[in-house]
Structures are given as structure tokens and as C-alpha cells.
Structure 1
């Protein structure tokens, strides 16, 4: 059917994307009596970058967001509290492993390099950056030694989902000044899909509806916006909330008629998203300290590993998988790892764990306890193509430009549009609510 001949569905508002930003935007509108709201999702599932993998282990493993960062003023935690969820709080990081020297440092131990890297980054909000420098350049200017730089690479840059030379200090400073959630790391008692389920309840979400064209030239008229999907369906509405990942906008997969203003297009391309991988490994029994949650690893293949408990019988292999280790890799290291064979990634990851936890009596505890594993690669997710936007050099101010409404009909939400705390769940949720309030209150 030609686009002009398609029978259009008339609604008040279309939300493009069913991540938590899109779902929150739709929920806020519906709860404020905007009843005809439809959420269009390109994928065959709902939730965006909240996703569970059921193939690796006998229990669901988080492919995307792993935990909540911050317990204060967090709409994500509030929503999960209302759903009756409970959390386990962890220290982050709770241990450091220096690979070259094979030295372990607990977070309550004094170590000059560990203290220095945190001192530098904790001071960011009080500093003045006359120009937008990368974290790598800034640390050289500060006279940081090699260990401190490598700690920053594995701890801070990897957590922001980028490489150290990509991390822009002006945006890091902006987040440090705006962060209001606290420093707790909370692991949920169930999959994070509970958050998605709680928000999407009662909403009209259409899966496999990939938006290809938004025509808003007749926006002064009621119902003056037309949204076209690749499956031939057409929607006419008064407003559109766009919450797709920045990579989709950068690729031009949604055409705008008329084209977006050059200032907004430039802002879209100033923001950057790199890749992230999770290396998931299931084991018959733990071989690490009982109280261990995670480790920052310096000069290692995996810059960070999390120890995640579970207990279930693996019927397919006849083995009992009691626990798992998840390695988290982001930035250019993730891009390089994405090109490797999965078997090689798993082998090198097991070698690292053997080095970290091996003893003369048991030199290869990871390899001997290993049952199954898999690499989860976000660059290969068709409708995402990466992790999340990171504070990048040259992007300061771009998020505010992107988040500004256009002609009172196009609204933009999603983690890339939050100027204060982009890489976390509550920030994405806040942007969806903000977009809804822009529609409701002008």
C-alpha cells in the first residue's frame, strides 16, 4: 500500500520507542487524561535496553541495565518499591585487581593509586574547565601515574561506556554537579523487566511498528502530524514523543518532513554512543570470597567483573550451575572484542579469572568449574546499536538542544536528552515524564 493510500489511525499522541523513557511519557500522558496515546516499538519486545537473556544460564540474566545506581530521589526505585520489589545494596567498587602485579586491594584498604583516582574524579564538580578536554588529557595534566590512569580507564571510563580519551570532562562535571541520587548500588530481587511491566500496564504498545517517516509540516492543524511505519501503518496525531536511541537518529532511519533544524541535527551528531559487551559465564560453584560483589581489573582483558548468585539445574548439560560471573566491557575495547570469536572471548575471560583467583593448590578454579557462557553484544541489537550515550568531548550543551520541543509537536526524550545523569534508568524515566509535561503544560 502506498503511504498516501494507507488508512490512518487517529490518536492524540504517538510515542516512538518503548524503552522506559517512552513508556513513562505515555504513562504520564494517560494518567493526565490524554487517553488516545499509542507507543510504537520497532522491535518484537518491549523495554528497550532493559532486556533479559534466557539462553546463557538456567535463570534470566540482565543483558542490559544490571542494577540501580542511587536510592535517593529515584523514580526507578520508587516505582519498584511500589511493585513490592526488594534490593540488596552493594559497595562499588568493592575490590580492585592489578593484573600486572597480581595484587588485590579491598575498598577499605589504603592504596595511594586507588585513593588518587577517586580524589581526582570526586573533585570534578569543584573545578573549572576552560576548555573541553578528555579525561585522558586531563589526567596527564594532573600528573597522574600509569596505575591511576589505568584505574580511571577500568573504573570510570568503562562505567560511562567509553574509552578514557573519549570521556569529556565538561559533561562529566555537569553530571557531577547535577547528581542527586546517592551512591548506592542496588541489585533487584527479580529481573528488571518488573520495572517495564509496572510502567507499561494499561498502555497501548504496538510491537514491530518501526517508524520511518514523521510529517509535521501541517502542525498548526489538529491532527496535523502523520507518522508512517515500515509495515504500512499510518497514524495521525497532535504530538509525537521521540525516544529512540541516538544511534537511530544519527543513522537517519527516521525521516522528518520538513527536515529537522540544523541546530538540532548538529546536536544529535555531537552526542556519542559506544558499544558495551557482557561476557556471561556460569559455574558449578563459586571460587571467590563469599562477600565479593565486583572487581575493577587493571591491565586485564575484562576491566570489570560482577559476581551474581543464582541456583538452578542446567537440564541440558546435566550440570548444576550455582552462580555466575559477568564481565562488563565498553568503549573501544568492546568494539575490538565484538570482532573476536565468541569462543576466544570466553577463553580469555576464563584465563583472567584463573589468574585472579588461582592458588597453588587450585591454579585454574574458573576453568574447572565452568559450565556455559555467552557474549551479549549491544552493537548487534538492530534497534539500539550500542550501550548508552557517554559524557563526550565536544558535546557540552547538545543534550539541552536535543531535548527542546520543536514547533510544539515534536518532543524528544531518552537518556541522551538528560543533561545531568544520562547513563542510568531513572534519568531516562525522568526525560519521558519531562516530555509529557511539556505537552501537557506547554
Structure 2
């Protein structure tokens, strides 16, 4: 079959034989027919339309860590800049080295008339990929050749531990003309009947009555509380900076293994996406609870992706956000959102349970309830919980940095999941 490709034929003859079974991304009109096929035939969380392209890379990163498989991330070339943060600072083989297959819709391709916003990024797409060390190939004109190209890209990704890209110009896919049931039909049906898409509860608020007094908790105490309750099959994903370094410090002090911890080095704001990708690749028997330990600025940076994943992401998650109102890893610059609207924002997200706490007693109670709900043993799939912990300022002046390289930390983590 020659161009344009039927979306279903492309999936069954190109992607499926190459073991692509997880797909994340932001839609692009160049890929419209194929993406409509995904939306109808693949349900979340195996297919998630993320709020931005970096969120797709974060999910693909966690999914590879848990399964050793390569996920597909689709995007428009104008969205490549959104993906570059996790690609450059986490997935690249210069850091953690994660194979990812990018499918990039090529708007503004030279020789094809397009909208003015693509005038700069379009002609420079291939230069951008070269500059970022991302090997790429153009989609060929037949399905047999496309199968060969995708196979070659995946082999490159796995051999060199690197993101790779398949460049796709407009007109590659025909419109999808299959049944309209599936994920889209379910979503539209719920919207038409005004039914909630996720079963969520309002936040449980255990905050002191005198917020102007010094807060008794610190970030380190929160880290110790989470680390102290980790069980053998639990996984923890702390965000970059002081949060990861304090986690490393506490584990070293207590002579506990670091192998079930994935330290997110880079990819600012994407820790929960990485954690959800790990959870997606692990059955409840393999991983009891996946904890994500996040900072308030990190959580806010990609709140859109967190909102999407709270709704349609994998279950069995406990997302702990440490709120101190500052960017502590960079010198305590203030967060640009006050506490009240910050909690209002979190309140609107579709985590099954939400807890807002500021004492050690309330934190312990919230974590106990969240972990029990995430690790359901009655045959269910568990729930997602958000725990926002208000803490005072400050951190240790001598936080250690991991002595292991990023790849060594990756390998320890992946080996612990085998």
C-alpha cells in the first residue's frame, strides 16, 4: 500500500508488529487520521492525550523504565520545544539514556504552503533534531518500507539508548473512517449526559487554625515520613533538586537500598508523568504503591499534565506535593501563586482523594489512607491520591549528591523491577 496510508493498516502492519503498545502525545493535523484511530481503538492509560509534549516524553520515560519497551510519542514539530526539556535533560543518552520513538508531524515543510506560524520552525526541523542528537528518518511511501524504517529506528533507540524520530509530512494518512465507539464515544456520552468522567472526592483539609504561626514540618520530615513507610514492592519517584537529594540522604543514613527509587534528574515539572509511566508498566502484583514526591513549583509548572493524569492516568498512585511557597533549590525565590488559589487549583483536579495537611499527625493519617486506597487488595485497581503538605522554609546546607551516575541509577532501578 502506497501513500496516503490507511490508519488502521499502518497500525496493524507497522506499529503493532514493532511492539508499540503505549502511545502518548499532543495531536497534530498532519497525523489526524492515525490519531483518530488511536482515540477510538486505544483506551487510557495505554493512549493518553497529554496537556503538552513534554508530558508525553515523561510518560514514555517511565514506561520504558518499567517495561524496557519503547513508547510512541506523537507531536507537531512546533511542539518539539515543549518536549526538549525532558528530552535534553533526562531521556538523552548523555543523561539517563531512555529510548523513545517520536512521531513528528512536519508543518511548514519547505515546498509546502502552510500557516505563517510555521515559517521558522518548519524549515529548521531537521536542523533542530541534529542539534539535539536525535536520530531521525522520513516516513517512506509504502507500508512495507515504513515497517522497515520503524524497525530500524527502534533498533537504534534500544542499541544507543536514545530518543529517535519519524518525520511525517501532511497528507501521509487518510481520514479514519472506522467505528466511532471506544474512548471518544465514551467521553462524548458522558459529556452529553453530564456525568462525571472520574469519580473524585473533595479535599480533606487538616490544616491548623493559626496559619501565621511557624509550621512544624519541613521538607526533610516529609521525605522521612514517606521513606519510612515504603514497603518491599513500593516505588518512589522524587522530583529533581533538593527533593531527590534529601531522599538520597535519608536512604543513605538509614542504610536502605536506593534501587526502588527513580531520581528524576532534570525534566522540571514532569516527575508525576514519569511516575505514572512507571505505574503503567507495572502490575499491582509487581508494584504495590507508586509514590511521587514533588515540589510545589514543580507541580505548578506542568499542572495541566498533572490534571490529565489525575483523571485518566494509571491508578495506584500517591502524589505528595511539598508546599513551602518558594523555589528552594534555586535560592528561595517566591512561588507566584498564593496558597489559597494553589489549593483551589488542586481541589479541581480529578485525584480520587485529596488531602491538605500541615502537621506530622495529619500527614501520617493522610499517607496511611492514601496508600491503603492505592494498594487495594480486593481485586480493584486502586486509586490516585494527592497529598499537599505545608512546610516551613529551609533545607540542610550539606545535601549530598548521588555518587552514582544517572545511568547507574537507571540500571539499579530497572533491575529492581525485573
Higher strand share: 1
TM-score normalised by length of structure 2: 0.22
Taking CA–CA contacts closer than 8 Å with sequence separation of 6 or more, which of the two structures ends up with the larger relative contact order? 1
If you compute each CA radius of gyration, which structure gives the higher value, 1 or 2? 1
TM-score normalised by length of structure 1: 0.21
Higher helix share: 2
